[in-house]
Structure 1
Amino acid sequence: MTKICVDEQELTKKIVQDIEQDEIARSVKKLRQQAVNSSELPQAWLSKTADALENNDWSILSEDFINMDFIGKNGYFLIVAPYQINRKSRPNLALSAIYGKIHSNQEPSIEQLENLIREKFGQLNQPMPINLSFTEIASCGNVKGESGEAFIVPNGWSFPNSVRGPALNNAKEQRRRFLGSSYECIQKVFEYETASLLLGPLEDEINSERYRHVDTQVHEAGHASGLGFDFKDKHHLFQNYSYAGVEEWRADSLGFEFAACTLPAQEAGKLVAVNFCIRFGLDAHRLGGLEKDTDVYASLISLEHLFQNDAIYVTKNGQLALRNLSYPGLLQAVELHRAQALSLTRRELNLKTPTGIFYLYKVDIHPSTQSIFQALVMERCQGIWAKLQ
C-alpha cells in the first residue's frame, strides 16, 4: 500500500512538472491514468481536470471547487487551472498547478465566526470564506512557492464563481517567507524588544502554523462582514488599489475584533503579532509600492492607526517601537483599528447604493505617517528584498 502511495505521489509530481513545461497533452494522459488508479485524489476531479485542460473549459471544475470535492479523503489535492495574480496593478494569468495536503486545524469554527458576524452587525450577507491551510508537495505557475502566492485566494482561479470556493494557505511557503527576508526586515524596522515580541509566535515551532492559520481565518471573517467581499467584487467596487487596500485593512481589523471575542487576550495579541509580521515584514515591500499595490496601502493604513492610537513611536535610532510590550498590550494597540472597522462596516450596511463605498473607503493618511512608512519601513528593507526581485 505504501509503495502505491509513493508511486502515485511521484506521478502527481510529474503532472505538475508537465504543466510547468507546457506539455499539456502529456499531463492530460497522466491525469486520465490517475483518474482510474488514484487512491489519494478524487478520481472524478482528476477526470474533469483532464477534460478542462483538453478543452480549455474551466467551468467544468467550478462546482467541485466550490464544494471542495477536489480534496481526497486523507487531505491530498491537486488543482490545475489558470490562476491570476496582480503585480504593479497589472494582471498576470498563467496556467498553474498546486499539489499538497490539507491540514486538519480548522479552528475557530466557521459557525462560531458566522454567529459572531451576526452578533456584531445583525446580518450575514455571504457565507464565511473557508481558509484551508496546507503543506505544498509540488507547484508551478502563479502558485509556485517563492515566485507566486503563499495565500492563494479563490477568485484568482479561472473557474466561474470561484470566489465562493476556499482560500488555500501554503504553510510551507509562509514559513519560508517569515523566517527569511521578512524575519530580517522586522528586525530592521522595529527596535529589538518590539521585534522579539512580534516574531515570538512565528518562532514557536509547535504553534506557529496554528497562529498563521487562525490569523487568516479571522481575516476571511472580516471580508465576509458588511456587504461582503463577494458583493463588492461582483459590483466592481474594487476599482483601484486604494479601495482594495481599505478592504484589506478592514478585514485585518475586524479579524482583530473577532480574535478578541473568541480568544484570551494573550492569544489574540499573538494573532496581531502575526498580522504585523505579514504587513510590515512582507506586504509593505511588494513591487507595486504605495501608489499601485493593495497590500502596501493596507500596511500604511495600519501604521496610521497605530500612530493615532498612540500605540507606537519612533526611537532615537530611527526604529519603530510599541509602547506596551506584551501580547495583551498588542491587542490594546489595535483598539482604534477595531473601532474604526466596526464603524465603517456598519456604515456600509446602511448605504443606499453600492457605489457609496467610493466615498466611505477613503482614509486620511497624515503626511508624516507616509514619510515614516517610506523611510523606516520600505526604504530600510530595500536591500533585503532587492536580491529576491
Structure 2
Amino acid sequence: MTRPTARDRLADLGFVIFAAVFSLVTAEEALAGRELSEQALFHDSLVGGLACAALFLRRSRPVPLAVALLVAGMFSHFVTGPALVAVFTVAATQPLRVTRWVAAVAVAPLPVFLIRRPDAPLPVFTSGVVYFALVAAACGWGLYVRSRRGLITELRDRAERAEAEAQRTARESIAREMHDVLAHRLSLLSVHAGALEYNAGASPDEVRRAAGVIRDSAHQAVEDLREIIGVLRAPAGADAGERPQPTLADLPRLAAESREAGASVGLDLAVDDAGEVPAPTGRTAYRIVQEGLTNARKHAPDSRVGVRVGGAPGTGLEVEVRNPLGAAGRERAIPGTGHGLVGLAERVRLAGGRLEHGTEGSEFRLYAWLPWNPPRTQPTPGVPS
C-alpha cells in the first residue's frame, strides 16, 4: 500500500469534518420522539466523536471500519455520518465482491427495523428509512467514483501507449528518411571514387570534375545528416528550420544527378502538372525513384534504368523503375543495408498505397501505386465551406 500523500490527509480531514457536521445538523430531527437522558446523549455523542476519529483508518482498514460503524450506527445516530463515509470508501476502493458484502451488511437490518417497529412514531420511522437510503446512496456514489477513477486510469494508459507508439513511428520515419537520403548520396560517392580508381589514365579535367562531384556529394550528405539530427534534437512541435522536402517536380534533378555519375537514366514523367501532386504523395514518389536508382547503381551500374511516373487526380499515381539484372558475382559491388525495400514498403503503406518489386524476365521491376485525391473545389465566396 502506498503511503498517503498530503492531499490524501487533507481529504481524510475533510471527510471527518463532513461526518461530524452531518451528525450534528441532523441530530435534532433524528432524535425527535426519543427520550434520552443527558448522560445517554453524552455517551451517544462520545461514540460519534470516536467514530469520526476512526475515519483516519479508512485507507488502511476500510472494510472492518465500515462493518463496525454500520453496526454501531443502528444504535447511535451520531455514527451515521462516519458510517456513510466508510461505506463510500469501501465502494470507491474495494473490489465489487467486497462492496456487495458490505452493502448486504448495511441493508440487512432494514427488514428487522420495519417488522419490530410498525407502530413507531412517524419521525422515528422516517429517520430509519432515511438512514438506509443514505447508506445506499453512499454506496452508489462510491461505485460511481470507482468507475470514473478506473476510466481515467484507462484513458491515461491509452494516452501513454499512443504517445509511445507515436514516438516509435517517428523514429522509424526518421530512420527511413536517413536511409533513403544517405544511401543515395553515398552510392554516388562510391561510383565516382570507383571511376577514379579504375580509370588511371583519366585526364586532369575528368579527375577534377569527378573530385568536384565527390566533394559536392559528401557535402550534401553531411547537410542531410545535420538536418536529420536537428529534427531529432528539436523539441516536440518546434520549428527546426529544415530545408524544403523533395517533391515530384524534383525528379528531373534526381535523374540528372545519376547521369552525372555515369548512369544511363530515362525519365518519363507523364504528369501534366507535377506541382499539383499532393506534397506527401510527391515526396513518397521521389523516395521510390531515389531508392530504385540507388539499387540500380549497386547491382547493375552499367545498365540503363527506365523510370516512368504517371497518373491523374482520382486514379492515383504510378511509379515504376526498371533495370536489367546485374551480373552475378560482380566484384567490389557497393554494399547495401538490406533494409531499403523494407523501409520503402512501409513508407508506401503509410501513404495508403502498395508496392511491388521483383524480377520480370531479365529485368528488376520496382512498382508502386500511390493515392492521389482529386483537388478540392474552391468554396463560393460568401458560402461557408
TM-score norm. by structure 1 comes to: 0.22
TM-score, normalised to structure 2's length? 0.22
Higher Rg: 2
* Larger RCO (alpha carbons 8 Å, 6+ apart): 1
